[in-house]
Each structure stands twice: as C-alpha cells, then as structure tokens.
Amino acid sequence: MTAERLQLQRAVVLSQEEVCRDTFLMWLSCPALVRGAAPGRFLMLRCSDGLDPLLPRPMSYHRFRDRDGERQFAILYDVRGRGTLWLSRRRPGDEVLAFGPLGRGLQVRPDARNLLLVAGGLGIAGLVALADEAVAQGRSVTLLAGARTAVRLLPPSFLPPEVEVVYATDDGSRGHHGPVTALLPEYLDWADQVFACGPAAMFAAMAETLRARASRRPVQVLMEERMGCGTGICYGCAVFPRRGGVRLVCKDGPRFDLRDLF
C-alpha cells in the first residue's frame, strides 16, 4: 500500500502543544501527506535539519480536520530523545520533511456498532483518528486508556466528546489501579470489534484474556517496532507471527490480527 510516487514532502507546522507531560500534539498542513491517509496508517517524519539524527520517525496519523479550505492532520508524540526534542521545538510556520501515507490502516466492519479501543501509553496516538471517524458514522466508542501515572494521560478535552473514556494507571493516580488490560473483560461482550495500540506486553495480556474467555471478538492491533525506512526495504521492523515466518510492521502492518502475533 505504498503511495504512488512517494517522496519527501514539506509539511507546515500549524500548532504545537504539550498536552500531557512529555507528550506533544502537533497539527500540520500538507495536502500530499493527507491524500490516502486513514486511521492506523502512518508517515515517516524527519527530525533534524540535516543528517543527524539520521532516520525519520514513524508517526501515526493521530487526527484529521477540515480547516482553512484543506484537510489537516495531527501527530501525537513523546519527547524521548534527540529527534523528538528537536521536533518539540518547532514553531508554527516552521517546515518539517516527511513521506507517507504508509502501511495498512485499521478496518472497521460495516456492521460493527460498538467499538472498543484499548490504548497503552502513547498507543493512543494511533487510535483517536479511528474514534473520530467512528463517532461521525454514528458508532459507539469506548476507549480504555492506560498510562504509568495520571499526568501521562491524554486529557478528555483532546478526545472526541462522544467517546466514553475509562482510565487506568499503573500507580493508581487516576482511574483503575493497574494495567489497562484488566478492564478488558468488563467491555469485551459489549464490543463488536476491538482495536488496540500499545506495548507488546499489553497485547500479550489481551491475547491471554481473550483465550481465557474463549472470546472470538475480532481484535486489530497497531504494532510498534523500531523502523528504519517505513517502506519495506530495510527489514528493521520485523515481527514474528506465532505460526512461523516473519512480517514487516511497515509493509505488512502496522495493523495485524492480535491472534496472529500473540
């Protein structure tokens, strides 16, 4: 699903905001980067003016909006190292280089009425666009959002108001005290379809819950793996399906069926 004639594009920074501790929301304008973009797909964003840091960072399309006569998009990212620190210092009007859209996005079944979204940490970045789209289509959406501690949770004001949000924190500072996956059994029967993004340990816990309950709910996950190219040529982002073989997150994913991997 590589875009036709993929090339580096200049995107203009529209706004930049720290929405919770160390997590930034950046709105960008670039028509070429939203053409064909969809929830679950991603772009590769350069995080320097030159060649250091060298590699582009994979960023989920976090949200879309129509404003000023164009379709704009947002990314949500944590400041983790030199590249994202550089990114957090961009100001409105600055330009950044990126290419995309890339990868296979999330797929909602036409008849799915109740969608359960499970986000671990920054995994929420890849799921909010789906929530926006789903509520606009009249579907019911519940989001289970987990983080280490309350100040790392994305506040409700940065989520579509129609979404029911249930929080969990590892330290109990907000919502359920414990892993977000502990909330899963409560909502599983309600959901027609489940979508999740977060660390591998979260996916493993979800798979265990589903197996323990013999649940047949379809679960799509967005895999995160260190990526070099985003285009299927460096083989850096390999994942190993349970039944053998090897897949690339950038080309075969990032959307996978949970049960294929965990």
Partner 1 sequence: MDLRVHIGGGKRGLVLANPVLTASGCFGNGIEFLRVFDIQRLGGIVSKGITLRPRLGNPQPRIVETPAGMINSIGLQNVGVDAVLRELAPIWATWSVPVIANIAAERVEDYAELARRLDEAPGVSALELNISCPNVENGLEFGSRPEPAAAVVQAVRQATGLPVIVKLTPTAGDVVAVAAAVVEAGADALTIANTFPALSIDIQRRRPALGWGSGGLSGPAIRPIVLKMVYDVARAGLGVPIIGCGGIATWQDAVEYLMAGASAVQVGTATFFNPRAPLEVLEGLQEFLRQEGIEELRELVGAAVSAGQAKKVYSGAEG
Q: Which residues bind partner 1 (CB under 8 A)?
A: 2-8, 44, 46, 51-56, 83, 99, 225-229, 231-240, 245-246, 251
| Min separation Cβ 30 and partner 1, Å | 16
**Alpha-carbon gap, residue 239 to 221, rounded angstroms:** 13
How does DSSP classify residue 83?
H
Neighbours of 16 (CB within 10 A): 17
Cβ partners under 8 Å of residue 33, min gap 6: 9, 11, 43, 73, 98, 99, 100, 101
| Min separation Cβ 188 and partner 1, Å | 29
**Alpha-carbon gap, residue 67 to 64, rounded angstroms:** 10
Using the minimum distance from each CB to partner 1, give the nearer residue, 98 or 154.
98
What's the chain's length in residues? Answer: 262
Using the minimum distance from each CB to partner 1, give the nearer residue, 16 or 48.
48
Using the minimum distance from each CB to partner 1, give the nearer residue, 218 or 228.
228
| Min separation Cβ 166 and partner 1, Å | 30
| Min separation Cβ 187 and partner 1, Å | 30
Using the minimum distance from each CB to partner 1, give the nearer residue, 56 or 123.
56
Tokens of 245: 């073989």
| Min separation Cβ 48 and partner 1, Å | 9
Using the minimum distance from each CB to partner 1, give the nearer residue, 4 or 68.
4
- The CA-atom distances, in angstroms, between 238 and each of 22, 101, 137, 247, 255 are 28, 19, 34, 5, 13
CA-angle at 147, arms to 97 and 105, nearest 5° = 45
Using the minimum distance from each CB to partner 1, give the nearer residue, 76 or 249.
249
With 0-12 / 13-18 / 19 or more C-beta atoms within 10 angstroms meaning exposed / middle / buried, residue 14 is: middle
| Min separation Cβ 227 and partner 1, Å | 8
